[in-house]
Amino acid sequence: MSTSRLDLMIVIHSLRGGGAERVAVDMAAYWQARGYQVAVVTQTGAEQDAYALAEGVQRHALGLAGNSTGPLGAVWGNLRRYWGLRRLVRRLRPRVVLGMMTRGSVLAVLAARGRACRVVATEHTHPPIQRLPELWQRLRRRTYPQADAVVALTQGTAQWLDAHLPGVRAQVIPNSVRWPLEDGAPVIAPAPNPGRHRLLAVGRLHAVKGFDCLLRAFAQLSRIHPDWDLTILGEGAERAALEALRDELGLRDRVALPGRVGNMAAWYAASDLYVLSSQAEGLSNTLLEAMASGLPCVAFDCETGPREIIRDGIDGVLVRPVQDADALAHQLANLMADPALRTRYAARAVDVRDRFSAARIMALWEQVFQGRRVN
């Protein structure tokens, strides 16, 4: 901790919404509350933020976001981002620079080169499922071995990084669970459903989240369990396609898509079962939140993520094979038909409050910031 120079600089593209963005805000607030001088650096301005920074956290918006025109435009845009960040590193003299996600991490390593600070690169998405331009893949291969530490959310991602980036020995630090949950905007109250049960799913309306598969699975269940409804919270480019599929399956009255909400605690409390239908995940914040809220959970056993949160048969169910609507419907039906099983899983699900507590996870980050390996 210091008053003469910055203790922690977090570099991320924006705070417009998403799991890594929220983690950045939470980390900034945690270390700020403990007396650290913390700054968050983004390419975008604060007017686009979905998450508010804690009082006292410095905010530096480089204002260099935007799509580039052609290869030369992309190179020029990235050079400007590098120069802007390097000038800021030189001026603020951070002790630790933490890059969030691939682009933020690459820029952090480059901008801090030659400076007296530790640089930590992080991966929040499993690389094989990233749509990452070849330029950034090359930059990752060149820069990550130069970082003082490379951190992944899951063992699967750490193993991939070790295998594909010579010179990297990745460490694993999962996300912490936010508990108790705090409300944000927009606040949308769950519709009362007396005598009915709610199956809840949360995430961007994006193909990787597998909501089309979930709709097909729920179509099989809707007649067997007429007292259950499905709510999918989130927003994204797939909304029109999902609404069309819902209507095609005859589920208009049984499936609601209210959009993105900020009062998640109320929705978890108003639900009976949580489902994560993703084809791939990093480490799902919503799955952690649902379990911390005491919901039994069902998730596809994708390559990374859910298997490091759910203890199969103890506090939830992992479904195989991934993106198999029949398999998902089968496991959901088992829980829908068995209140006692739901209660048993829910009682153990809340263990994530301790397993993924902020105190435990931030202690791991402190080790990394101090130059010690966590695994």
Task: Confirm if 161 and 140 have CB atoms less than 8 A apart.
Answer: no
pLDDT in tens, the chain (375 residues): 445 689 999 999 999 877 899 899 999 999 999 999 999 999 999 888 888 999 999 999 998 876 666 677 777 888 999 999 999 999 999 999 999 999 999 999 999 999 999 999 999 999 998 889 999 999 999 999 999 999 999 999 999 999 999 999 999 999 999 899 989 889 999 998 899 999 999 999 999 999 999 999 999 999 999 999 999 999 999 999 999 999 999 999 999 999 999 999 999 999 999 999 999 998 899 999 999 999 999 999 999 999 999 999 999 999 999 999 999 999 999 999 999 999 999 999 999 999 999 999 999 999 999 999 997
Give alpha helix (H) positions in 173-304: 211-221, 239-248, 264-269, 285-292
The domain 8-176+357-369 having CATH identifier 3.40.50.2000: the answer here is yes
Phi/psi at 142 (nearest 5 deg)? -80, -35
Q: Coil, strand or helix: which one is 139?
A: helix
Torsion of CA 95, 101, 102, 107, to 10 degrees: -30
Sorted by where each begins, the domain ranges of the chain are 8-176+357-369, 197-355
Domains 8-176+357-369 and 197-355 share a fold: yes
For the whole prediction, is pTM greater than 0.85?
yes
The hierarchical CATH code for the domain 197-355 is 3.40.50.2000
Q: How many CB atoms lie within 10 A of CB 328?
A: 28
